[in-house]
Amino acid sequence: MLRPKPGAVRAAPYDERDRASHRPSASLREDTLTDLHAFVAGLPKAELHVHHIGSASPRIVAELAARHPDSKVPTDPEALADYFTFTDFGHFIEVYLSVVDLVRTADDVRLLTFEVARDMARQNIRYAELTVTPYSSVRRGIDESAFMSAIEDARKAAEAELGVVLRWCFDIPGEAGLEAAEVTARLAVTEGLRPEGLVSFGLGGPEIGVERPQFKPYFDRAIAAGLHSVPHAGETTGPQTIWDALTSLRAERVGHGTSATQDPELLAYLAEHRIALEVCPTSNLATRAVADLERHPIREMVAAGVLVTVNSDDPPMFGTDLNNEYLVAARLLGLDERGVAELAKNAVGASFLDDAGKARIAAEIDAYTDSSLGAAAAARLAP
């Protein structure tokens, strides 16, 4: 029975410690590294934890900054690399909010959304649940209906033109308190305003000092309206925050969940109930949630039988993308191509895509894996 418990750096995906077996104990041959990079690049993928604003590429951020010259955000894409170097999680939030301030019109919203999908298509991402924070936009003066129309127009264009299926998670910015929760919940449940692509309801921002139970009434409303619960928890706080997300917010997946490994009972619960963790290794390193990748708890999560998905969080801000995150995870977990393909299918299975869509992408992953490995075997046998 579930019960509460008592009270910028880019990660290099491979080095001499790389491995290429399903089992973490096996070693990776040097001649497989290029093959694995190529395999990951072509692998059909789903992404479950990636933020709308945080996915703005330097090119798009620079274009938005040029549109709004009163912002302190650099207009030079190269200067953005320094701007996106974070000293800690608090500094990351400060920089993140400065980019949020660049999205001031419905046209900005539409541009950002479609360009994020374009970057996903380049990585062979077939499906993504994009975390959107509508409160940040409407409080800056964007009309609510215009905001919804902008993301929906971009969503439909992305599917038709790029082959990327987008769905939305409406996210409460925790640092903005209960006012933001009320606005976000209202936008998520109001008929005629709620967008067609909305599937889930989340909670992000700082965790320290932002207790999860206070948001229970808003999650209850969202769940009653048919949305799934996917709060961030345990990224920069201990396992009690994850317990709170499970008990108070009825989390079906947990964003990050980095501290879950500090509580064996919590790990066992997550594994037994197949509650997926949305793991973002490079993000955790960049925000100093983990000291270094070698100490990232993803190994312990997998060893405990927890369903782990790999995600990029705010990829351009952290100098990464989903392909790189798969390579990081492959090294940490000791995965070969089939192991990486199974990791990709974890994300598909843990998604809120309909059963037919899940089956389609999973079959595409299997077909791609068989074809790639078959071609590689044939090439090795060729004279």
**pLDDT tens per residue across span 175-225:** 999 999 999 999 999 999 999 999 999 999 999 999 999 999 999 999 999
Segments forming the whole domain that contains residue 169: 30-381
The answer, yes or no, to whether residue 26 has pLDDT greater than 60, is no
Q: Residue 81 has what pLDDT?
A: 76
Question: Does residue 15 lie in a domain region?
Answer: no
Q: Residue 179 has what pLDDT?
A: 97
Lowest mean pLDDT, pick from 67-81, 105-119, 148-162, 229-243: 67-81
| Token pair 């040029």: residue | 66
Question: Does residue 22 lie in a domain region?
Answer: no
Q: Residue 383 has what pLDDT?
A: 67
Burial class (CB in 10 A: 0-12, 13-18, 19+), 46: buried
At 34, is the pLDDT very low, low, confident or very high (cuts 50, 70, 90)?
Answer: low
At 29, is the pLDDT very low, low, confident or very high (cuts 50, 70, 90)?
Answer: very low
Q: What is the pTM of this model?
A: 0.88
At 5, is the pLDDT very low, low, confident or very high (cuts 50, 70, 90)?
Answer: very low
The answer, yes or no, to whether residue 245 has pLDDT greater than 80, is yes
The answer, yes or no, to whether residue 265 has pLDDT greater than 90, is yes
Question: Does residue 95 lie in a domain region?
Answer: yes
Question: Does residue 127 lie in a domain region?
Answer: yes
* Percent of the residues in the chain that have a pLDDT greater than 90, as a whole number: 73
* 105: DSSP letter: S
Q: Residue 260 has what pLDDT?
A: 98
Which domain CATH number covers 116?
Answer: 3.20.20.140
Is the Cβ–Cβ distance between 36 and 340 less than 8 Å?
yes
| Token pair 């997998």: residue | 302
Segments in 68-215 forming alpha helices (H): 77-83, 89-100, 106-122, 134-138, 144-162, 177-189
At 18, is the pLDDT very low, low, confident or very high (cuts 50, 70, 90)?
Answer: very low
What positions carry a catalytic annotation?
Answer: 235
Sign, CA dihedral 196-199-201-202, equals negative
Cβ of 327: how many Cβ atoms within 10 Å?
25
Average of per-residue pLDDT across 313-333: 95
CA-nearest of 182, 158, 178 to 168 is: 158
Between 61 and 28, where is the model more confident?
61
Question: Does residue 185 lie in a domain region?
Answer: yes
Say which residues have a Cβ less than 8 Å from residue 318's Cβ, sequence separation at least 6.
8, 9, 10, 84, 282, 283, 286, 312
pLDDT digit string, tens, across residues 85-114? 877 778 878 888 888 889 999 999 999 999
The answer, yes or no, to whether residue 23 has pLDDT greater than 50, is no
Continuous segment of H or E residues that includes residue 320: none
Round the average pLDDT of the chain to a whole number and report it: 89
At 274, is the pLDDT very low, low, confident or very high (cuts 50, 70, 90)?
Answer: very high
The amino acid at residue 336 is D
C-beta contacts of 362-365 below 8 A and 24+ residues apart: 364/44, 364/126, 365/43, 365/44, 365/341
List the Cα angle 169/201/6 in 5-degree steps.
130
Average of per-residue pLDDT across 23-49: 72
**Strand pairing of 276-279 and 308-310?**
parallel
* 280: DSSP letter: -
Q: Residue 89 has what pLDDT?
A: 74
Cβ of 217: how many Cβ atoms within 10 Å?
13
| Token pair 């077996």: residue | 21
Query: Which parts of 196-329 are beta strand (E)?
Result: 198-204, 228-229, 232-233, 253-256, 276-279, 308-310
Question: Does residue 18 lie in a domain region?
Answer: no
Q: Residue 382 has what pLDDT?
A: 66
Average of per-residue pLDDT across 246-266: 98
At 27, is the pLDDT very low, low, confident or very high (cuts 50, 70, 90)?
Answer: very low
Question: Does residue 228 lie in a domain region?
Answer: yes
Q: How many domains does the chain have?
A: 1
Average of per-residue pLDDT across 251-260: 98
Question: Does residue 3 lie in a domain region?
Answer: no
The answer, yes or no, to whether residue 376 has pLDDT greater than 80, is no
